[in-house]
Structure formats: structure tokens, C-alpha cells
Structure 1
């Protein structure tokens, strides 16, 4: 841009203003996610969730389905990093106690959180994309909906056939 002189000082101003607007939207979402994470931690919600799910340890599949639904709901309103940092220490002991493979749990956790990032009502990634592409949020939701359906179907398939994730990992070892 500088070498070919495509960017003048007046257009540089507009580029910087647009970058600042996009960055402010992203940072607002990150700040909201951090506040949510702080409130969840202060309210001792992770300990309550652990106590609530403890009776399901005897039924690993049911426990795993409940955990996946919970992660999906949390992932819809919170960013990936706070979700992982808050829920992993709470859920991993339950998963180990129920004899669920921790690597399988981790893969499913991240897949689930990723789906949550593109799913309304908050959809952090959708907000960023609609802001950058100057789309209405509704148009972004309509565009991503088929992919969410496919990803949810894969998630259900992986829940009921865990070997699809576990077996390739065993081939590596």
C-alpha cells in the first residue's frame, strides 16, 4: 500500500477509523465475556454445577449429554477462553470419575464451545463477522444456520459414537 502509493493520508484516516470501530466492537464483547466469567466465579456457580451433576456419574452417557448441553448454553453467551478456564476444572473430575476419556471430553468440549461461538443469542464470532462485513446480525445468522445444523448433527453423532474421535487418537500412539 505504501510502496504502490494506493493509500493516501486521507484514506489512511478512514482505514484507521474503521479499524478502531471494529476493534471496539470486539473488545466490548471480550469485556462482557470477562465480566460474565467473573460473576459466574463469584457466585460459586461452578461448585453448584459440580454438586448438581455428581449423581449422574453412575450413568456416563447421560452425564456426558448433560455436560454437552450445559457447555453449549454457556458457549452461546460466553467467549471460549473464560468458558474453558471456568468449566474445565469443574467438569474434568466428574468426567474422570465417570470413566470418560479425558481427551475425548476435551475434543468435544472445544467443538461444542466453537459451535456456541457462532450461535445466537450472543454469537461472539457472528457479531465480529457482521461488524467487519457490515452485515445485519440476522443475515449473518441466516448464513451460518446450515453450518450450525451440520455441526450439531456431528456433535450428536460423536456423543453416541465416541470411537469416531477416540480410535484415530489410538492409531497415532
Structure 2
């Protein structure tokens, strides 16, 4: 009976349109305060000790950094630099998207933020230049996984806290796999683009590449 009541309350709260996290929290608190004898003081102390971790403080700052990068134009400058490097190859825009995702992942730590920031710029440009929507969406979606593989990574922080593992060691351990995955994605994208004769961009001069690099490095 208790389980059915809690489940019905959760469904009712979710149907009202409130965020799932708040619905879950209200359901748990309702269960604790009405169907158990747990003191309110114990609940408040448990909530406090659950977030009393120096490492967890890094997570909201990574999210904040991702928002700054997304809305501050840094993603666009990273894409411009990546395009100046590989845009003249077959599938240049797709390759630029992969390289930009890897660079964005190095400062963000979130796959969702990486896909949202880079995909919102690269994908419309790819479609405008004659790339199929499915091809561009596939590239950006897969390359977005670099956000949790490269350092820093929010899931790695949570895993390290849960298992008492070194966060620095986990970050370093993701460098080689992230670099290999980036290289493999670039090779596959280049091969498919060459096979299907997707458009290429004009080759950027060294001056243009250096200018794009300076703009992207300063953020």
C-alpha cells in the first residue's frame, strides 16, 4: 500500500509539469515525514552531509563554464580554428565539428553541453553546404561523447567520489582514449566524405589559421 501511494504521488507530481528532480525530492520527503518516524533533524543533517564534499563543488563550476562557453561565443571561435585546420579536407565541416567537440570537451566536462554548443553552430552550416542531415547529426552526436571522456569530466568526478578513486588519475586516463577516439572519428568521417564526394572548403592560409588560433586560445 505504501509503495502504491508513493508511486501514485510521484506520477501525479510529474503530470503537473514540475521538473523530475523536484518531483522525486517531494515524493521522498513526503514519504519520510508522513509514513515513517524519521526525525526532521536527521533528514536535514543527511542532506547537508550528502553535499558536504569539496570535490562536488567542481561540478556546478564545470556547468557554469559550459554555459559561459556556449553563450559567450567561445564555441564559435573554436569551430573557426578547427575549420582553418581541416576544413579543406574531404568532409571538412564534419572534421571541424569533431575537432571542435574535442577542444570544447577539454574545458567543459559535459557531453550534453558539448553537443548543444558545437551542434547548434556546425550542423546548420553542414546542411547549408550540402551535407545530409543524418550524416551531420551522427557526427556531432558521436563526437559529443568526448565531453565525458576527455578531461575534465563530470561523471568521472562523481565516480571518483563514490569509489574513493583519484580524480587526477581518472582525468589522465581519459586523455589517450579521447585522442584515439577523435582520430578514429576523423578517419571514418574523411573516408565517408571522400567516398560520397561531400563538399570541401577552401584552404586557409597560415595567417588565417594563426588569427583563428589566437582568437580561440584567449576564449
The TM-score normalised by the length of structure 1 is: 0.62
Question: In the TM superposition, what are the counterparts of 1:88-127 in structure 2 within 5 Å?
Answer: 88-120=119-151, 122-127=152-157
2:102 corresponding residue in structure 1 = 72
Of the three residues 112, 115, 118, the one matched with 1:81 is: 112
Give, in whole Å, the separation in 1 of the partners of 2:82 and 2:176.
Answer: 34
- Segments of 5+ residues of structure 2 without an aligned counterpart are 1-31, 33-37, 194-219
1:129 corresponding residue in structure 2 = 159
User: Is residue 60–residue 98 contact of structure 1 (8 Å, CA) maintained in 2?
Assistant: no
1:28 corresponding residue in structure 2 = 61
Q: Which has the higher helix share?
A: 1
Over 6 Å off, 4+ runs: 7-14
Give, in whole Å, the separation in 2 of the partners of 1:139 and 1:51.
Answer: 30
Give 1:69 shift: 0.9
Q: In 2 relative to 1, CA 82–10 (structure 1 residues): closer, same or farther, beyond 3 Å? A: same
Aligned residues: 158
- Segments of 5+ residues of structure 1 without an aligned counterpart are 164-173
Over aligned residue pairs, what C-alpha RMSD do you find? 4.1
Give, in whole Å, the separation in 2 of the partners of 1:12 and 1:103.
Answer: 48
